[in-house]
């Protein structure tokens, strides 16, 4: 009849929910890592592998600020180095910082009711922006120099 929820049911549900959240987070971090990898080592302000520290619970709330700022600086440096017109001075940084702030606000009771959905929307927008900036670096072919004597 009315079966009560056993502790192991809660553990299984928690595990399933964690995996459900972890999959998009891994794809997001792969996108961020790829964007950093497409920047030359001289342009990078963070090593690409450092983005994976965002998987550490609670620590990611602070580390995300570092990732967003380093990625914006790295992309800006790389665009300047290659002579690509920059869509923003620090590509993606404004939306990324807004996302990071909303993410931190999700731990505040009551405020989290607004901050959570806002963080999710900003995260998706930021992810798309970074993927586009990364694709621009991947697609960019420097103009060939004119032949000598022309």
pLDDT in tens, 128-143: 999 999 999 887 655 4
Cα–Cα distances in angstroms (integers) from residue 121 to residues 79, 81, 94, 110, 131, in the given order: 26, 32, 14, 18, 16
Q: In the block, which residue shows the tokens 């103009």?
A: 143
pLDDT in tens, 11-56: 777 777 777 788 999 999 999 999 999 999 999 999 999 999 999 9
pTM for the predicted model, two decimal places: 0.83
pLDDT in tens, 47-75: 999 999 999 989 999 999 999 999 999 99
**DSSP per-residue codes, 47-84:** -GGGGGGGGSTTHHHHHHHHHHHHHHHHHHHHHHHHTP
Looking at residue 73, its pLDDT comes to: 96
Q: Is the dihedral of CA 95, 100, 103, 105 positive or negative?
A: negative
In the structure encoding, which two tokens stand for residue 2, read together?
């009315």
Looking at residue 15, its pLDDT comes to: 73
Looking at residue 150, its pLDDT comes to: 47
pLDDT at 119 over 80: yes
C-alpha torsion 50→55→57→62, nearest 10: 40
Looking at residue 142, its pLDDT comes to: 55
Looking at residue 145, its pLDDT comes to: 42
- Backbone phi and psi for residue 18, each to the nearest 5 degrees, phi listed first: -65, -45
* 88 against 148, higher pLDDT: 88
């Amino acid at each position: 009849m009315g079966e009560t929820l056993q502790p192991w049911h809660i553990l299984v549900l928690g595990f399933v929910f964690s995996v459900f959240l972890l999959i998009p987070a891994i794809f997001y971090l792969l996108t961020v890592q790829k964007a950093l990898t497409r920047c030359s080592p001289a342009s990078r302000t963070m090593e690409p592998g450092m983005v994976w520290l965002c998987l550490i619970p609670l620590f990611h709330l602070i580390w995300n600020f570092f990732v967003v700022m380093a990625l914006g600086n790295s992309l800006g440096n790389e665009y300047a180095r290659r002579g690509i017109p920059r869509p923003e001075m620090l590509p993606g940084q404004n939306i990324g910082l807004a996302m990071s702030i909303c993410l931190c606000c999700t731990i505040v009771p009551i405020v989290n009711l607004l901050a959570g959905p806002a963080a999710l929307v900003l995260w998706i927008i930021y992810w798309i922006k970074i993927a586009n900036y990364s694709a621009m670096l991947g697609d960019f072919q420097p103009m060939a120099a004119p032949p000598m004597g022309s």
